[in-house]
Amino acid sequence: MAVPGTIALLAALSMFGPFSIDTVFPAFAVMGRELGADTLAMQQVTSVYLLAFGAMSLFHGPLSDAVGRKPVMIVGILAYVLASIGCALSTSLPMLLAFRALQGATAGAGQIVARAVVRDLYSGPRAQAAMSQIIMIFAVAPALAPIVGGWILAFGPWPWIFWFLAAFGLAMAALTASRLPETHPPQARTPLRVGPLLAGLWEVGRQPTFLRIAMAGSLAFAGQFLYIAAAPIFVLDLLDLGEQDFWIFFVPTIGCMVLGAHLTGRAAGKIEPGRLASFGLAIALFAGVLNVTLQAIPGLPPLPWAVVGPALMAFGIAMVFPVLQVAMLDLFPHRRGAASSVGAFLTLMLNAALSGAVAPFVTDTRLHLAIASLVLVLLGWGLWRWHQRAAGLAGPADPVAP
């Protein structure tokens, strides 16, 4: 049985993603001027990170199934520290992108494997409650990261942000080594061979129920993530705010996310998980419609109305995420690392495409950004409804079935 300190550590390990992405946002304009990169080129600083994160995410989980959770975490985090130092020392955009790719390839060692650790420790409603607690703590990172980045930028040059990330990585490696128990014993491990590793990924990735659940959650979350990926443009250009003003967007959004995760944790064992997920997706869909409506009203001031929809959407998505994460891991009790990896891969590939190929082209106006966000949430909601019908016809035993 895990102690509260273990839950807090797992939440901190899950912060690698948002800290690596959001802390850099306030420095985009300065970095672009110094490195000779325009807005579209600077968006690749995020998309390259996400592409590498997603590609390597396929292997962090299966490796932890084979050699244990802690070794994969510690080695990956130390490699992340070296990549962050490389980013800090970069003198050109290609050099920075190369080290950002290495950052992405290693950051998932903590973030993805931590989800498998939760399911190693807990089952049933307790797993849902634990995942919700982690999300509540983890949710602080996207709100805190750009604020920290802005503070660092106010007192020093942009490389200091990456030195901060390197220090964060060193602290997490030390805490993981000294405080985190090994939750995957040798007798439960799978062979460390390429054939079985790839076979495990294929077993997970071709399961229709898994794919429906994973893609429903990924598409719905993409509606929220589009705003996160476009934050430098949304905050600095569309809202005409400054480099220290990212909190105006992130604080209400993440505050609603924490509240949604808290309610999901309280509902564990009391409300059927599938019903809870449907309710959260309905809220996210309503938020998307409300957001488009507000941005379409002529003469309406940008603030606070531009952040109302994204914040309410975050509330709904936070209710959905813990339920779907536990459901995906429960489908493969002997390959939880692989299930966590494939689920993360699908989400990250979609987010990378949004950051590099979509966000730059839908951020000319707040209305276009709101419409794109709504379309993504609508697709996730539709796929969830399809899953419910398919699961109902099959008479399944998975925990998110109607």
Structural domains in the chain plus CATH codes: 4-394 (1.20.1250.20)
Residues 6+ apart with CB under 8 A from 4: none
- The pLDDT of residue 41 is 79
- CA 371 from chain centre, in angstroms, equals 22
Distance CA(98)–CA(347), nearest Å, equals 22
In 3D, which of 155, 157, 44 has the Cα closest to residue 91? Answer: 157
How many CB atoms sit inside 10 A of residue 240's CB? Answer: 10
In sequence order, the 6+-apart residues with CB closer than 8 A to the CB of 159 are 87, 88, 89, 90
From residue 154, alpha-carbon distances to 145, 148, 162, 228, 283 in Å are: 14, 10, 15, 22, 38
pTM: 0.69
Distant-in-sequence contacts of 302-309, Cβ < 8 A, 24+ apart: 302/238, 302/239, 302/240, 302/366, 303/239, 303/248, 304/252, 306/234, 306/238, 306/239, 306/366, 307/248, 307/249, 307/252, 307/253, 309/370, 309/373
CA 77, distance to chain mean position in Å, is 17
Contact 316, 282 (CB under 8 A): yes
| Residue whose C-alpha is closest to residue 141's, from 6, 249, 233, 23 | 23
Distance CA 180, CA 116 (A): 13
Decide: helix, strand or coil at residue 123: coil
pLDDT at residue 393, as a whole number: 53
Alpha helices in 156-207 (DSSP H): 159-179, 194-205
Q: Please list the alpha-helical segments (H only) found in 268-335.
A: 273-296, 305-330
DSSP alpha helix (H) spans, 1-139: 4-13, 16-22, 28-35, 39-67, 69-88, 93-121, 124-138
Tokens of 200: 């495990």
Tens-of-pLDDT digits for all 402 residues of the chain?
445 577 778 878 878 877 888 888 888 888 888 888 877 778 788 888 888 887 887 787 778 877 888 888 899 999 999 999 999 999 899 999 999 999 988 987 877 777 778 777 777 677 767 777 777 666 677 667 888 888 898 888 999 999 999 999 999 999 988 888 887 777 777 767 777 777 777 888 888 888 888 899 889 988 988 898 788 889 888 998 887 788 888 889 888 888 888 888 777 777 888 888 899 999 999 999 999 999 999 988 888 899 999 999 999 998 887 788 778 877 887 777 778 778 878 887 887 777 777 887 888 899 999 999 999 999 999 999 998 888 765 444 444 554
Burial of 375 (0-12, 13-18, 19+ CB in 10 A): middle
Closest CA to 222 of 372, 46, 15, 400: 372
Q: What is the pLDDT of residue 45?
A: 86
Q: For residue range 282-317, what is the model confidence (pLDDT) as tens digits?
A: 999 999 999 999 999 998 888 889 999 999 999 999
Question: What local confidence, expressed as pLDDT, does residue 397 receive?
Answer: 47
The conformation of residue 224, written as its DSSP 8-state character, comes to: H
Residues 120 and 113: their CA atoms lie apart, in Å, by 11
Residue 27's nearest CA partner among 152, 195, 140, 136 is 152
